[in-house]
A and B are shown apart, each in its own frame.
Chain A
Amino acid sequence: MSSRFARSWIPVACAALLALVATAPRAAAQDTDPLAKLDATSRFAVEAIMDSARVDGLPVAALRSKALEGVAVHADDRRIVSVVHGLFSSMREARSVLGPVNDPDLEAAAEVLSAGVKPEALTSFRDAPRGRPLASAFTVLVDLVTRGVPRDDATSAIVKLWRSGARDADFYGLWNSVKSDILEGLNPGAALQNRVREFPGRAPGNTLTPPTGQPESPSS
């Protein structure tokens, strides 16, 4: 009786063991994937969003990074899915307004929309001259809005600078000045209005040159 029992279970046990041995390294690798910390449903949802982004030609890395950030801060799984989906929607909307742009510009434009700026505001940046990056203008716009500058004021100021041919250094100069004024206690909207007057209009179409000098810390 016992030998018959053993004979019937040995093939099953061996098959299960082979499967375990074959998948053990893969299982160990999955344990190291931070997204594996999501529950199965949430992970499936995040991967489905990334697949959709891949099909649409949107930057998948930004979506994955957002999910990883959520995992790193121990956010709720549903919250992570919601945030990733929100970023996906913003990038798709930004793409529909701006047309084909590179990934950094598109990610920055999505941040602009996430900051509450209306999509219509992005139309001013459509058909940007080739080689003229949008990311710096959008980054400064988001920062100003986040610091309390009214959205419409910040948008119109950045659009005005953009149309006048401002360069990366101009946008960052404006940002640095306004930030200093705000830290000194000035009203954010007033600080922007004061500083934007200091920037003379540039002729559109000026050749943009990247900043020179040694790489330096983003901290000042």
Chain B
Amino acid sequence: MTEDWQHPYVERIVSEARRPVDLDPAARDRLMSLVRMEPAPRRSTRFSRLSRANRVRDLFRVRSLVLSPAAGMAFAAGLVGLGVFAGALYSHRDGRFTAAGQPPVVAVSNPQLPVSDTVVQFIVMAPRANAVSLVGDFNGWNAAATPMRPTSRAGVWSVTLPLAEGRHLYAYIVNGSQWMADPGAPIASDDGFGHKNSVILVRPGAVL
């Protein structure tokens, strides 16, 4: 069996193609001079080689990102830190969300204060107290929410705050731990936790 390339015609073509070509030296010089006259091509970049459509397609091409486990965990830790930082920056301690740096609203001049609110002054005598605070259903029983201030009279503590119309339970916390009902107000029934609370009824423009 004879191979195709061993065909006599093929051999003839091959031999013809391999025949040395006599090149005029002057022709070579002319060719090189023309090449030198051409401006130097700009350095090609990845994007310049691509057409516009290919560029866009290249942006959406799926690529696989390979990371070592250590690098992946470092990346994850960074993202978690970013999330925690963002959460702390954009949320208040009471859970309300607002932009950072927003100035606080002064309650006294707040035009959105409900008209049904009545400003109530609480006064209690606690001569040996270092600190007294007011807790009640109006501040979530938070001892840090409504601290009382000593008045000019020795041992007398006071605080003023607006209360909505209705019935409120409250108590005083003396020196951060001692729960005390208001001796000048009606007592509520046992609160179920072993403490006594006081009752205040707020009516428009008056308290009972």
Contacts and interface: CB of A to CB of B under 8 A. Distances in A.
Interface of A: 2-3, 5-7, 9-10, 13-14, 16-17, 20-22, 24-25, 27-30, 32-34, 61-62, 65-66, 68-73, 75, 79, 82-83, 86-87, 103-104, 107-108, 111-112, 114-115, 133, 135-136, 139-140, 142-143, 145-147, 168, 172, 175, 210-213, 215-220
A37 B201 CA distance: 30
Contacts of A103: 166-167
A79 B86 CA distance: 37
A70 B192 CA distance: 8
6 contacts: A6-B68, A10-B67, A16-B76, A25-B90, A215-B205, A216-B121
A65 B208 contact: no
Identify whether the interface residues of A are mostly helix, strand, loop, or mixed. Answer: helix
Interface of B: 64-69, 71-73, 75-76, 79-80, 82-84, 86-88, 90-95, 97, 118-124, 135, 137, 140-143, 166-167, 169, 179, 182-196, 198-201, 203-208
A130 to B, nearest CB: 16
Nearest to B89: A25
A66 B189 contact: no
Given A6-B69, A172-B208, 13 more contacts: A2-B69, A7-B64, A24-B83, A28-B91, A29-B91, A103-B167, A104-B166, A114-B190, A142-B186, A146-B187, A215-B207, A218-B120, A218-B122
A218 B188 contact: no
Contacts of B195: 73
Given A17-B76, A68-B140, A217-B122, A175 B186 contact: yes
Nearest to A172: B208
Contacts of A62: 137
A107 B167 contact: yes
Nearest to A213: B206
Given A6-B68, A139-B199, A216 B207 contact: yes
Contacts of B75: 13
A21 B67 CA distance: 21
A18 B186 CA distance: 54
